[in-house]
């Protein structure tokens, strides 16, 4: 038990250090390559930047050490550390020792929804959310079994970050930082030097979800029993107790499909 306690403390300390304050570097140069991509340079790193189009007009932004040659749409403008796409929020990126920081401007009153399974609220505006699988049992916080680095904005756009690395989404909880302004911003910090970001516009939330599904694909329909009532509790003390609950269900003619046994 003591070993587990020490391991947990070490994990929490390392998690706190991940998002600690540090010096973020701005990209000082932006050079166009013969293949149509850009190379951003700063005193600590160099990365390739590509902007292309995906399903349903989605914009795909690729950042990493290797060049991905894409035909940049006319609606996109690339500068050192900054990407401007018509109809989408301005994006500013910074670098810090193998990590990336992405900032998107937010409007006053703008709301943000998504980021996976949540126990606290569907609306994640003003919250700072860690994208990492965690046991959220008994805790109505941002801890979750199913984090998804995707959100939809009331401004009429969606963002999906295609990366399994640990990340943190600050959904306009405070003033903008990287651009030096006092306005609101979405700030994404990623524990990796490369990433693929997808941004898209939509007329409404169903339209935005259609594009997201076009990017990720649709799941197969679950079996019929999965749509029935599920009974779950934290623990059963014996097989006799489990069978007793099942027989009680049948006696009451409840339309139950699953009796979940935990612990």
| pLDDT score recorded for residue 14 | 37
| pLDDT score recorded for residue 68 | 67
Residues in the chain with pLDDT values less than 70: 1-22, 35-36, 43-44, 67-71, 136-141, 175-183, 263
- Enumerate residues 6+ apart whose C-beta is below 8 A from 232: 260, 262
Reported for 214-218, long-range contacts at CB under 8 A and 24+ positions apart, including other chains, are: 214/54, 214/55, 214/56, 214/58, 215/54, 215/55, 215/58, 215/160, 216/160
| pLDDT score recorded for residue 160 | 97
Going across the sheet that includes 76-79, the strands are 76-79, 82-85, 91-96, 99-105, 184-190, 167-175, 128-131
- Enumerate residues 6+ apart whose C-beta is below 8 A from 153: 110, 111, 112, 113, 159
| pLDDT score recorded for residue 181 | 45
| pLDDT score recorded for residue 179 | 43
Q: How far apart, in whole angstroms, are the C-alpha atoms of residue 169 and residue 102?
A: 10
Domain range summary for the chain, segments of one domain joined by +: 23-216, 224-260
Please determine, looking at this structure, whether the domain spanning 23-216 carries the CATH number 2.60.40.1760.
yes
Closest listed residue to residue 151, CA positions, set 178, 119, 111:
111
Burial 93-119 (b: 16+ CB within 10 A, else e): bbbeeebbbbbbbbeeebbbbbbbebe
Direct distance between the N- and C-terminal alpha carbons of the chain, in angstroms, rounded to an integer? 18
| pLDDT score recorded for residue 175 | 66
| pLDDT score recorded for residue 6 | 32
Structure tokens at 15: 């998690």
Pairing of strands 46-53, 38-41: antiparallel
This model's pTM is above 0.75? yes
Strand, helix or coil at 103?
strand
| pLDDT score recorded for residue 116 | 92
């Amino acid at each position: 038990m003591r070993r587990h306690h020490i391991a947990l403390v070490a994990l929490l300390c390392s998690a706190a250090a991940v998002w600690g304050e540090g010096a973020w570097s701005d990209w000082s140069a932006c050079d166009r390559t013969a293949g149509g991509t850009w190379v951003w340079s700063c005193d600590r790193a160099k990365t390739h930047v590509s902007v292309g189009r995906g399903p349903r007009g989605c914009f795909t932004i690729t950042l990493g050490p290797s060049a991905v040659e894409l035909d940049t749409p006319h609606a996109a403008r690339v500068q050192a550390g900054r990407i401007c796409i018509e109809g989408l929020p301005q994006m500013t990126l910074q670098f810090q020792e193998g990590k990336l920081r992405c900032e998107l401007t937010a409007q006053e009153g703008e709301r943000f929804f998504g980021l996976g399974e949540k126990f606290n609220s569907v609306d994640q505006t003003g919250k700072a959310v860690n994208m990492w699988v965690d046991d959220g049992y008994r805790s109505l916080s941002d801890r979750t079994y199913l984090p998804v680095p995707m959100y939809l904005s009331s401004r009429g756009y969606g963002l999906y970050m295609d990366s399994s690395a640990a990340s943190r989404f600050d959904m306009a909880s405070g003033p903008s930082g990287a651009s030096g302004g006092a306005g609101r911003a979405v700030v994404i910090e990623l524990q990796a030097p490369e990433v693929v970001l997808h941004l898209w516009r939509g007329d409404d939330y169903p339209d935005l979800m259609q594009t997201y599904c076009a990017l990720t694909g649709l799941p197969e329909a679950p079996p019929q029993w999965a749509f029935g009532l599920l009974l779950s509790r934290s623990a059963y003390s014996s097989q006799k107790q489990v069978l007793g609950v099942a027989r009680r269900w049948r006696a009451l003619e409840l339309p139950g499909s699953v009796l979940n046994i935990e612990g």
